[in-house]
Structure 1
């Protein structure tokens, strides 16, 4: 959107302004903008300038943020990324670099400061874990893992609540170069096996019971069935979480051991010291999974460097977070929400999919913007909520998409944003124009629509298997289970896929 078409102050005031940032506050985003300007000889006057530069010069953006974040590494990269490669080429980021995710998270030397506050249902006390204690525990876990034969690339999993144990085991696995995945104790046996059986873990950590809504829920029967379905397991570590170990029977679970006994195997005359395997930027770190609603859960691998750099960017630039801040993460360790983000903040400037390390998306290709009155039909369009956009930065403009729907006041656009159009037929409806994308050819129009439309079930889950069947020319049954079944037809007889 050009500066000439940006809305004026009066358009913003159609909505009540709830909060505005202090433009005089010296944030880490401001300091980063100043550092980029000095290093690259640029005059970046505001966030909008920084945003556009980050998109157009994404390689330079990530190189500058690498320096700004103070990332710990043992070998510097040879190249940020080959900008001549496209998304289908899967370009390698920060080629030649060597680092360790856990080393970066445990680099703080203020050992007496609190690293974790742990709250549990049914207990009023808050457990505090200092950085020194966390480092010592991670060293114990890692030494025991190495003793039992866990090596780089092995999978280690947790069937755990969101606890200090989960963090310690995850960091220990990462320090070795093992790959971590997790699921919460409320998952059933089939749900766990649908996921973990795909990745063949060598080691699993689990609790014996959990407390929910004031009631104890035993976990040992489920754990026994899960272990039976994972033949590659070498060790099962049971963590007494609710009751003492004397009251827990692990005799029916093969290769099982209590946590204290497991950690003792890695200790000698001297306490073990932390060792951090130096790994490539793209080395696998976490395995997360899709929900499994529309088919078998799919593995999603997050790289060590990509996860680290992305979270540093989000916390430092977006959250303006420092070592003195406290972040609350109120959730389970379910495989769709953890472990890749024990604290998650919305993403930053770099919006085009192939321009972010270890993140892939299908970019939207814009056509010619036109304006249409209320009631007219658009084949493929996106509406910009202009009254919400800042005239200074345009940073809050949202976009939506539709296929063949009439532009109407307060219409919901693909479940993303509501907008209104001119000539409102309903009394009391606000009026503002909607931007419409109209690609020049039917083929481009259908292609643009597919890129921006998602099919959903009636309960709001994204559809994957049905779309795959349509593309393959197979029939789709139970179309009534979809909230927008007409979108499935967008994937039928795609010209670009004919002959494959």
Structure 2
């Protein structure tokens, strides 16, 4: 039976409603329902975040409490926990974590070797690297950059950096030199961590020349710490400082207590066009937000084994590391997500919460995988999905082919806040294609074109109250002009995120795509998610992308690009069936003017479709200016969207 948006797929048992972390917190605050708890969290924001600090026993000096001081010159105009001091790394390596409990499991693509670190071992390694960094002159406020894959050394170096009050920033080694330099040159790092290369999809890639180019482009760099990852002999003696030689065995672990908003790390906008924005997050905002989100929405705690497929260049790496704040085990994986590799990893490491991008779930569905049958996933309690909207069929496939008693947590937010605005809740029923709720502390609304909140209609996703994990600043944006222009220009004082959202009457949410890639047909605004759900339900279609070429209010052409499955062809008959399906499932406005087959759909490294860069290419922007290839998973497909590469006679309407 076809699955439809809103079909009930899961309800929490009585046991879950009693034992979920958010249930205990809700009872302690005297509320009877999640809706009551959410409304309190976004109206008495000071009381809510103060309760979060208490509930999790955040280590640090609380100061005067979470007083928000309006200041028109500040961005976004409030101060959180003024006078408070704390350190992110201290809260990860807190003394009440069991030192013998497993903190980290590390696996690599195609290699069966596995590395594990207990909390005690992790603390010892962080102390050793911290001491080495201090000897290199790294102090509070210095920037430490990393050109590293998702390996334990990256985690250790990050925590050592944070413990000193220095500022972390990382790029994965699949980024080329220009992309890395675009990011790191803005923040002027003192120390660089780098590997000799990385392995992906069965191939090894030597990056020593890229490391050299990065070093030459960063005049502030004093030291590069080298990690021979692919080849133990990659860096001959005397050729630089090795990671192993940086460590100072026997060093005592210590932490520099810093103000609540002191910079913890610098993340970057995707950088598909233009210079990536360096987004600064603070120690305190990340600690309280990640404790809340991971515990209350993903229901993660001690004893859980937490995995999310990510690289060090995506904010989900930072979110994954946040599992350590709760005493969970985090699984680091370096390699390609081919076939059932990630399902196998989950089975072999006993993952209890499994996070991936929505494209991996849909690829597993298309490939006919049966993870629940072929692998022992008996420990799995929750599945997270992010990066792009998960359609109802993806939800249904997970319950049918992975496990019946799972909380499928579709999750949407962004690098800008290093968390989700909307996501799962173990206390609520789950409906196909619907994100269960607005997150605690996130006053999400849908605004129409006049800036009026709407329900059960598509609108701009906005936050009408601030959150502690909103950026402290953009780097080198002292007046906050670039920051304000990015989020607050459309609705003064209100954060506009750039997504279309529909908030259902029951509080569930549906992300309809990026609002900057709006389709406007006959004066009706349409998101892209509905298109993809219909088109990608066809067995012949592996992936798709839709673009409207209209400008300045004029209706352009609606172009649909399809990546076909192996052996399929874009015949007139298939084109006709696609049009018919779009017309009947959506509306006549959704019928494309052209349908074109392409060898691949361009995506970012985190799996997001590049609708806006493709639109720019179609309107005449050169490929080299439309998107940064190093920020893409498959840059080789972009030229196929230029007039020179497109077929002379695509299938017209």
Task: Tell me the residue number matched to 1:56.
Answer: 43
Assess, with a 3 A threshold, how the Cα gap between structure 1 residues 403 and 174 changes in structure 2: closer, same or farther: same
The CA distance in 1 between the partners of 2:189 and 2:246, in whole Å, is 17
Say how many residue pairs are matched: 393
Q: Which residue of 146, 159, 163 corresponds with 1:175? A: 163
Per-residue CA distance 1:407-461 (angstroms, 9 max, x = gap) = 88xxx83336689xxxxxx996599xxxxxxxxxxxxxxxxxxxxxxxxx99324
Task: Please give the per-residue CA displacement for 1:473-493, whole angstroms capped at 9, x wherever unaligned.
Answer: xxx9859999xxxxxxxxxxx
Match of 1:293 in 2: 272
2:138 aligns with 150
> Is the alpha carbon distance of 1:286 and 1:461 closer, same or farther for their aligned partners in structure 2, counting shifts above 3 Å?
farther
Counterpart of 2:88 (choices 94, 101, 116) is 101
Residue 203 of structure 1 and its aligned partner are, at CA, apart by 0.7
| Matched ranges for 1:356-371 at <5 A | 356-359=467-470, 361-362=487-488
Q: Is the 8 A contact 1:182 1:338 kept in 2?
A: no
Please report how far the alpha carbon of residue 15 of structure 1 lies from its aligned counterpart in structure 2 after TM superposition.
4.3
1:67-104 deviation per Cα after TM superposition (whole angstroms, max 9, x unaligned)? 1122111x122131326456755311011111110000
Instruction: Give yes or no for the alignment of 1:332 onto 2:290.
Output: no
Would you identify which runs of 4 or more consecutive aligned residues in structure 1 move more than 6 Å? 397-404, 479-482
State TM-score, norm by structure 2: 0.54
Greater Cα offset, 349-358 or 155-164: 349-358
Does 1:91 pair with 2:78?
yes
- Tell me how far 1:298 sits from its aligned partner: 1.1
Distance, in Å, in 1 between the alignment partners of 2:490 and 2:218 is: 42
* 1:209 Cα deviation after fit: 2.1
2:336 maps to 1:349: no
CA distance in 1: counterparts of 2:609 and 2:100, whole angstroms:
51
- CA offsets 1:247-300 (integer angstroms, 9 cap, x no match): 53476x6xx21122222xx34xxx111010011110000001112222111100
- 1:206 corresponds to 2:194: yes
Shift of 1:405: 4.8
**Would the alpha carbon gap of residues 283 and 458 (structure 1) be closer, same or farther in structure 2, given more than 3 Å must change?**
closer
Matched, 1:236 2:215: no
Secondary structure of the residue aligned to 1:125 is strand
Match of 1:30 among 20, 23, 26: 23
* Mapped pair 1:19 → 2:19: no
1:460 pairs with one of 584, 606, 611: 611
Partner of 2:66: 80
Q: How many angstroms apart in 2 are the aligned matches of 1:194 and 1:478?
A: 21
CA distance in 2, matches of 1:363, 1:60: 29
Question: How is 1:111-130 mapped onto 2 (pairs within 5 angstroms)?
Answer: 111-130=99-118
CA offset digits 1:384-412 (Å, max 9, x no partner)? 474xx54xxx344668877965588xxx8
SS in 1 for 2:307: coil
Alpha-carbon displacement from aligned partner over 1:348-373 (angstroms, at most 9, x marks no partner): 222234431131654998xxxxxxxx
- Which whole-Å CA distance do the structure 2 matches of 1:283 and 1:55 have between them? 24
Residue 257 of structure 2 aligns with which residue?
278
Work out which of the residue numbers 248, 263, 277 in structure 1 matches 2:235.
248
The match for 2:301 among 307, 318, 322 is 322
Return closer, same or farther for 1:322/1:384 CA change in 2, 3 Å cut-off: closer
Deviation of 1:195 after TM superposition, in Å, equals: 0.6
- Give me the whole-angstrom Cα distance separating, in 1, the residues matched to 2:286 and 2:66: 16
Range that drifts further, 347-356 or 44-53: 347-356
How many Å separate the matches in 1 of 2:4 and 2:106?
43
Checking the alignment, whether the CA contact within 8 Å between 2:139 and 2:164 is kept in structure 1 is yes
Output one character per residue of 1:136-165: Cα deviation in whole Å (capped at 9) or x when no partner: 100000000111110000011111110100
Please state whether the residue corresponding to 1:314 is helix, strand or coil: helix
Contact 2:512 2:528 in 1 (8 A): no
1:311 lines up with 2:290 in the alignment: yes
Between the aligned partners of 1:93 and 1:462, the Cα distance in structure 2 is 37
Cα displacement string for residues 211-261 of structure 1 (whole angstroms, at most 9, x for unaligned residues)? 22222211211111111111111111111212223x53476x6xx211222
Q: Does 1:261 align with 2:245?
A: yes
User: Match for residue 408 of structure 2?
Assistant: none
User: Does the aligned pair in 1 maintain the 2:76–2:466 contact within 8 Å?
Assistant: no
Following the alignment from structure 2 to structure 1, what is the Cα–Cα distance between the partners of residues 174 and 609?
Answer: 24
> What secondary structure does 2:205 align onto?
strand
SS in 2 for 1:18: strand
TM-score after normalising by structure 1? 0.70
User: Contact 1:288/1:338 (CA < 8 Å) preserved in 2?
Assistant: no
